[in-house]
Structures are given as structure tokens and as C-alpha cells.
Amino acid sequence: MDSLGILKKLEDGRKLGIFEKILAVTNGSITQLLEVYTGEPVRIRTLRQEISGCDEETAKRLGIARGGKVNFREVEITDRKGNVLVFAKSLAPIERLDGRFREDLMKADVPIGKLFVEHGIEARRELLSVNIEGGNLTREYNIIHGGKILMSIEERFKLGVFK
């Protein structure tokens, strides 16, 4: 579905702010958009990060073998004052992460978008779904590098924060 189709589906009976519309359909860095919106660097608050073997569903989602090692990361992206702008979960197959990139990712409190820039990683985002659930705008997408899923990300934005 194209951007206008996504917005039409989302706005069915709702009024989204312009920045919420941009967040819904962007295929670029959320970090950069949030920094432009707030006029300051955003911060990452890591809630959970662990490496574990993946189940069948996760393996299928990432295109790896069942039991393959996956970095699971759950964060809040906040403004300078600590106000939560985004809640995000990411899954990254360890076998696809370059050593230095993996080390920096494991430092936890660094935005993924900034890591891609710092490491010169060229990737594209493949939007899988955008919905409104329980007062939140939710997005799910994959970051593709070298034709394979480097990360799968889910983001949740509280509606009304960006008006």
C-alpha cells in the first residue's frame, strides 16, 4: 500500500497531526525525525537487551535457522526531559551483525539510526504494517542490508504527543 493509502486507512474517523502522519509512513530514520521535531538530541533508555536462541516464529520472521542467536532490544526514545516519544522493540540476527556494529549495538543506549550512519551501513526499510491500537500509532518494519533482514523493528507512538 502506498503512503496515501496507509494514511486513508489510519485516519478512518480519526484526525492525525502532520508529524504523526510523517512518522506513520516514513522509510527513513525515526531518530533524525524526532531530533528535528524536538530541536535536540534524543536519548535512548534501554529497558531490556539480551541475546538468545530464537523460536520457530522469530526464525521465520528473520529468515534464519531456528535456534539462531538473536539480539532482542527493548527501548524508550525520550526527549531531553525524559518524556517518552517512542517505545521500540528490535530483533537482530547476531550472524548478520558486523563485529564493531554488534559491539556498539550492545552498548545499548545508542539510537540504531545513528549506528547505521557511524558505521556507513547502507540499508533500506521495508514497512510491513502501520496501525492504530489502543491510542497508539504502531509500525512494524524490517531493515534490509545486503538483501537480508538485518533487523526487525516494532515501534509504538502515543497519539497526541506530537500535536
Q: Specify the DSSP element, H or E, that contains 14.
A: none
Domain extents in the chain: 3-158
Residue 69 has pLDDT above 70, yes or no: yes
Alpha helices in 43-122 (DSSP H): 56-62, 99-106, 112-118
Percent of residues, the chain, with pLDDT higher than 90: 66
Quick: pLDDT tens for 72-107: 999 999 999 999 999 999 999 999 998 888 888 887
Name residues whose C-beta falls within 8 Å of residue 31's C-beta, 6 or more positions apart in sequence.
42, 77, 111, 112, 113, 114
More confident residue, 132 or 12: 132
Nearest-10 crossing angle of helices 18-25, 3-10: 120
Domain 3-158 homologous superfamily, CATH:
Chorismate lyase-like (3.40.1410.10)
What pLDDT does 60 receive? Answer: 95
